[in-house]
């Protein structure tokens, strides 16, 4: 079988794979992308876009109820059917025609089917009908297959047919009750969503919620979930699970209690989707995370790259796309014979995913964070100053809502006199995050921040309050 030759072959056509392919194409390379599902990937159809679309209905309703004059116009709860219709529109009814058209317009070839590495610089693609095509890469192969939900080793859980996040965001019939395992971002967002749909939610987490963030963030989400009618159980493990004859799932917890729900959602972590991409053909372990350098090249190879979740650096779409832009540029530059390993301008490297990762958790209240927490900065040996501020004291908060509640924490490195971490908790704080990200990445000196004047009256005035507190 004659191989089809390209400069670059990308396995996985999610937003990360699309970006690396596009950057390489703009750099003058011929590119093919391989996809076994939908072009646009997890984010477009089962994760970021549908979940945030579904969450928005409840958030908008809560915002209206917190403003006198709008509150009186609210006469009901979330219209679940309408929210699901809006979700369907956002995901184009799980039709990727527009994404395929974009690839075609960009001059990137799409090969449908399951792609596996079968030799150095070689990918064999098996289409749904069993036909195979071999793609040969002159310069590089990129693995961009993402991650999948981790199914924890709990007796009976697999046989209970648990939901993953895909089932939750693709829901057609909202269950009367839902048990959620895991207190991370997915678990907290889905608890917020299904509570807004009128579902009886029980969230079970071994420790507190949002454990990698500042403790006050998880505490605020717990309070809000309970106020919304959800039950939050922490400090317990699920020991067994069973699907009962009546269709319900029964979970037995480590304290001897039981939780019964119509469905159970597993949100306890992620695993790399590398179990069947042919890693063994090049001496790597199937199912492993792929260790890459800052040019996203897999260590030990001069032709194999990995981007996005499979690198385990930062499992977020925006960070994966950032990695993809760097990888696409570096692959094109190396193909031209350029020396980019020590590029002083840093264009061809991905470093922001080490210490400046922005993330928004779309719960009620929202949680937006970037860089260090107090705990991580202390563990890193930094000499820090922590500045907390109650967002309800900012003038913009009083115009935003009648009962605004929120908190903002800044972590300053006292030796370098720069911001190294920020966490915001409150309504619509996602829009505060990028200013903090720019400050951290740009290492803007505190003395210069005094000249970045926040508009009045906005919640962004917290920046001025931070500096005033810092100066005391």
My answer on whether 395 and 434 are in the same domain is yes
My answer on whether 119 and 176 are in the same domain is no
Residue 153 lies in a domain: no
Residue 74 lies in a domain: no
Q: What is the CATH number of the domain that holds 374?
A: 3.30.390.30
Residue 48 lies in a domain: no
Whole-prediction pTM value?
Answer: 0.94
Phi first, then psi, for residue 98 (nearest 5°) are -65, -35
My answer on whether 201 and 334 are in the same domain is no
Model pLDDT, residue 351: 86
Residue 73 lies in a domain: no
Q: What is the CATH number of the domain that holds 342?
A: 3.50.50.60
What's the gap between Cα 468 and its chain centre?
33
Please identify which residue in the block is written with the tokens 């995370």: 289
Contact yes or no for 369/359 (Cβ under 8 A): yes
Range of the domain at 420: 365-470
Model pLDDT, residue 2: 77
My answer on whether 132 and 203 are in the same domain is no
Q: How far is residue 472's CA from residue 470's CA, in Å, rounded to a whole number?
A: 6
Contact yes or no for 202/228 (Cβ under 8 A): no
Query: Strand 132-143 vs strand 4-11: parallel, antiparallel, or unpaired?
Result: parallel
Residues of the chain falling short of pLDDT 50: 342-345
Residue 299 lies in a domain: yes
My answer on whether 305 and 336 are in the same domain is yes
Of 299, 325, 352, the residue that ends a domain is 352
Residue 55 lies in a domain: no
Q: How far is residue 328's CA from residue 332's CA, in Å, rounded to a whole number?
A: 6
My answer on whether 395 and 427 are in the same domain is yes
My answer on whether 122 and 232 are in the same domain is no
My answer on whether 128 and 220 are in the same domain is no
As given in the structure block, the two tokens for residue 359 are 């993330």
Centre a 10 Å sphere on the Cβ of residue 193 and count the other Cβ atoms it contains. Answer: 29
My answer on whether 264 and 278 are in the same domain is no
Of 324, 352, 380, the residue that ends a domain is 352
List strands edge to edge, sheet with 366-371.
359-361, 366-371, 418-426, 407-413, 384-390
My answer on whether 172 and 121 are in the same domain is no
Model pLDDT, residue 353: 83
My answer on whether 370 and 452 are in the same domain is yes
Residue 65 lies in a domain: no
Query: Dihedral of CA 83/89/93/95: which sign?
Result: negative
My answer on whether 333 and 373 are in the same domain is no
Residue 45 lies in a domain: no
Of 268, 300, 326, the residue that ends a domain is 268
Contact yes or no for 323/296 (Cβ under 8 A): yes
Looking at the structure of the chain, the number of domains it has is: 3
Tens digit of each residue's pLDDT (9 = 90 or more) over 246-301 = 999 999 999 999 999 999 999 999 999 999 999 999 999 999 999 999 999 999 99
């Amino acid at each position: 079988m004659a191989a089809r030759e390209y400069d670059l072959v990308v396995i996985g056509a999610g937003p990360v794979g699309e970006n690396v392919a596009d950057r390489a194409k703009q750099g003058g390379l011929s590119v093919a992308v391989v996809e076994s599902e939908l072009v646009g990937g997890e984010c477009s159809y089962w994760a970021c876009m549908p979940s945030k679309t579904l969450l928005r209905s409840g958030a908008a309703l809560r915002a209206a109820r917190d403003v006198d004059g709008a509150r009186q116009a609210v006469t009901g709860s979330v219209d679940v059917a309408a929210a699901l219709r809006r979700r369907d529109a956002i995901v184009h009814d799980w039709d990727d025609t527009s994404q395929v058209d974009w690839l075609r317009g960009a001059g990137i070839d799409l090969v449908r089917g399951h792609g596996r590495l079968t030799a150095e610089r070689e990918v064999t693609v098996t289409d749904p009908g069993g036909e195979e095509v071999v793609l040969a890469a002159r310069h590089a192969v990129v693995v961009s297959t993402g991650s999948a939900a981790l199914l924890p080793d709990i007796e009976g859980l697999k046989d209970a047919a648990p939901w993953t996040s895909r089932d939750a965001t693709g829901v057609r019939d909202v269950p009367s009750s839902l048990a959620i395992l895991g207190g991370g971002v997915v678990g907290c967002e889905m608890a917020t969503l299904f509570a807004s749909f009128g579902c009886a939610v029980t969230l079970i987490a071994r420790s507190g919620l949002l454990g990698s963030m500042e403790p006050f963030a998880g505490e605020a989400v717990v309070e809000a979930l309970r106020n919304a009618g959800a039950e939050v159980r922490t400090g317990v493990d699920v020991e067994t699970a069973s699907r009962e004859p009546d269709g319900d799932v029964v979970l037995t917890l480590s304290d001897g209690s039981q939780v019964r729900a119509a469905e159970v959602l597993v949100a306890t972590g992620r695993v790399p989707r590398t179990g069947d991409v042919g890693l063994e053909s090049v001496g790597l372990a199937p199912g492993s995370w792929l260790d890459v350098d800052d040019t996203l090249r897999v260590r030990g190879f001069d032709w194999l790259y990995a981007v996005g979740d499979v690198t385990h650096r930062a499992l977020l779409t925006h960070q994966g796309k950032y990695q993809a832009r760097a990888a696409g540029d570096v692959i094109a530059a190396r193909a031209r014979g350029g020396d980019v390993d020590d590029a002083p301008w840093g264009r061809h490297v991905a470093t922001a995913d080490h210490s400046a990762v922005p993330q928004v958790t779309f719960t009620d209240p929202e949680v937006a964070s970037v860089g260090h927490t107090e705990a991580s900065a202390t563990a890193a040996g930094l000499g820090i100053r922590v500045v907390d501020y109650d967002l309800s004291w900012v003038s913009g908060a009083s115009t935003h809502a009648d009962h605004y509640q929120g908190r903002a924490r800044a972590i300053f490195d006292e030796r370098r006199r720069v911001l190294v971490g920020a966490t915001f908790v409150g309504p619509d704080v996602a829009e505060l995050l990028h200013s903090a990200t720019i400050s951290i990445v740009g290492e803007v000196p505190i003395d210069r921040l005094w000249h970045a004047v926040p508009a009045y009256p906005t919640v962004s005035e917290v920046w001025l309050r931070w500096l005033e507190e810092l100066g005391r």
